[in-house]
Amino acid sequence: MPFWKTIHLRTPIDQMTGQPIARTVSLLAGSRLVKLCVATSASIMLLVPVAFAQETKTPEAQTQPAAAAETPAVDPAAEPQSEANAEVQEQPQNPGLILAIDAGPPIVPEDTGVTEDIAYGAFQRGWFLTALAMATPLAEQGNLPAQTLLGVLHETGSGIAQNYSKAADWYQLAAAQGDAEAALRLGQFYLLGNGVEADKKKAADYFEIAAKAEKPSALYNLALLYQAGEGRERDEAKARDLLLQAGQLNDAEAQYTLGLSYLEGIGGEVDEGQGAFWLGRAARRGHTSAQVYYGILRFQGKGLDPDEREAAAWFERAAIAGNPVAMNRLARILANGRGRDPAPVQAAAWHYVARALGVEDPLLDTFVNGLDPDEVEAAKALAGQRTATLFAPSSDQTPPSP
């Protein structure tokens, strides 16, 4: 099996614009040559097989006399090197680091060939075309992980046009042979009607397969179907049990929903302590709705000791993440000086943003109307800054890992 080595790949910088210059790296996936465009201003980490062509020099370079390797003549008109650049160039190159561009395309050893692990490794590092080329022959031979990977590539449109129908076909092949990840994704397709006709019963059937393999998302989705009585006979107690299993596997959505079930008595008795416990676990995993609810419980002292300062911290964390209810709660905290020192401008700014997102609050309207004009202008300016920061478009389009 080929051994994979971590390498640094640097791209040159355009001295006029300061932007990276795109470079094209050729990768060999089985018998198919794939080109990967790399454009980044910093070093990136790639994993490439060590089985590169051992000699990357051309025959002409190999026959050149040793004198050709001597130090080239220096142009007197050239600008002197800075000391920093000189130090960098004088450092010996680490022989364990190989530039993919210099080394040439990787060669898969004939005795082992491509495996699903290599294909998945290519996918996880963004080599989608390489992953597609590697996974296709494996999937056609009945390799379950490769079939699931092809489903993911078609589902996410990575290296190929997005096609839910083809993704469903590959998931169907793998799920029919018991692949839990394929069953989970196919269940989601039937739940949402992506690539197939929506069918809650079939969705539940496939979630059952994945749930037996302790897939947290499958347990969670199956719990919701039992809770709603869709695709399965309504059974709230069964739903709570499934949520508990998913919560113990650290699924934040399941932890949040489980916390609510304890607080509202869905599927069993009301237990504020357990409700606060599970909402707290979801909040610590970054679930913003759980952070708001947990902050309210902490502020009111339900299910745990009251702590207004900690409650304010949870409201602030969720507000910064863009939750408008948290913004409203934080504005109240800052307006009344509960858990934080009074900060009227900050309070008004958060109120403006929350109100723009649909959370009205007459009490805060009255509070803002009592501020002087300078404070109102400062609050509006701050609200504009927060809106621009919170809702700036994201450039991260990385597809989920299968």
pLDDT for 369 beyond 80: yes
Percent of the chain's residues with pLDDT above 70: 69
Can you tell me the distance from the alpha carbon of 128 to that of 120, in angstroms, rounded to the nearest whole number? 10
Per the prediction, the chain carries an average pLDDT of 79
Yes or no: say if 253 and 284 are a contact pair by the CB < 8 Å rule.
no
Residue of 57, 56, 52 whose CA lies nearest to 109: 52
- The residue type of 55 is E
| pLDDT per position as a tens digit, 250-294 | 999 999 999 999 999 999 999 999 999 999 999 999 999 999 999
Yes or no: say if 202 and 209 are a contact pair by the CB < 8 Å rule.
no
Q: Beta-carbon neighbour count of residue 233 at 10 Å?
A: 9
Can you tell me the distance from the alpha carbon of 239 to that of 236, in angstroms, rounded to the nearest whole number? 5
pLDDT for 100 beyond 80: no
Token look-up 């039937």 returns: 190
Q: By mean pLDDT, which of 57-71, 101-115, 211-225, 309-323 is the weakest?
A: 57-71
What pairs with residue 5 in β-bridges? 48
What pLDDT score does 114 carry?
86
Helix axes 200-212, 216-228, angle to 10 degrees: 140
Residue 258, CA atoms < 13 Å, CB-side half-sphere: 30
Pairing of strands 23-29, 32-38: antiparallel
What pLDDT score does 112 carry?
66
Yes or no: say if 190 and 196 are a contact pair by the CB < 8 Å rule.
yes
SS3 278: helix
- Running DSSP on this structure, what letter comes out for residue 88? H
What pLDDT score does 124 carry?
87
What pLDDT score does 108 carry?
58
CA dihedral 337, 341, 344, 349 (to 10 degrees): -100
pLDDT for 174 beyond 60: yes
Percent of the chain's residues with pLDDT above 90: 63
Reported pTM: 0.70
What pLDDT score does 394 carry?
53
Can you tell me the distance from the alpha carbon of 11 to that of 200, in angstroms, rounded to the nearest whole number? 49
Q: What is the 3-state secondary structure (H, E, C) of the chain?
A: CCCEEEEEECCCECCCCCCECCEEEEEEECCEEEEEEECCCCCEEEEEECCECCCCCCHHHHHCCHHHHCCCCCCCCCCCCCHHHHHHHHCCCCCCCCCHHHHCCECCCCCCCCCHHHHHHHHHCCCHHHHHHHHHHHHHCCCHHHHHHHHHHHHHCCCCCCCHHHHHHHHHHHHHCCCHHHHHHHHHHHHHCCCCCCCHHHHHHHHHHHHHCCCHHHHHHHHHHHHHCCCCCCCHHHHHHHHHHHHHCCCHHHHHHHHHHHHHCCCCCCCHHHHHHHHHHHHHCCCHHHHHHHHHHHHHCCCCCCCHHHHHHHHHHHHHCCCHHHHHHHHHHHHHCCCCCCCHHHHHHHHHHHHHCCCCCHHHHHHHHCCCHHHHHHHHHHHHHHHHHHCCCCCCCCCCCC
Residue of 45, 56, 61, 39 whose CA lies nearest to 105: 56
CA dihedral 139, 145, 148, 152 (to 10 degrees): -110
Token look-up 């109102």 returns: 376
Can you tell me the distance from the alpha carbon of 110 to that of 93, in angstroms, rounded to the nearest whole number? 30
Q: Beta-carbon neighbour count of residue 252 at 10 Å?
A: 21
Token look-up 């927060």 returns: 386
Residue of 213, 275, 209 whose CA lies nearest to 249: 213
pLDDT for 47 beyond 60: no
Domains in the chain (CATH in brackets) are: 1-57+97-113 (no CATH), 126-212 (1.25.40.10), 214-281 (1.25.40.10), 327-392 (no CATH)
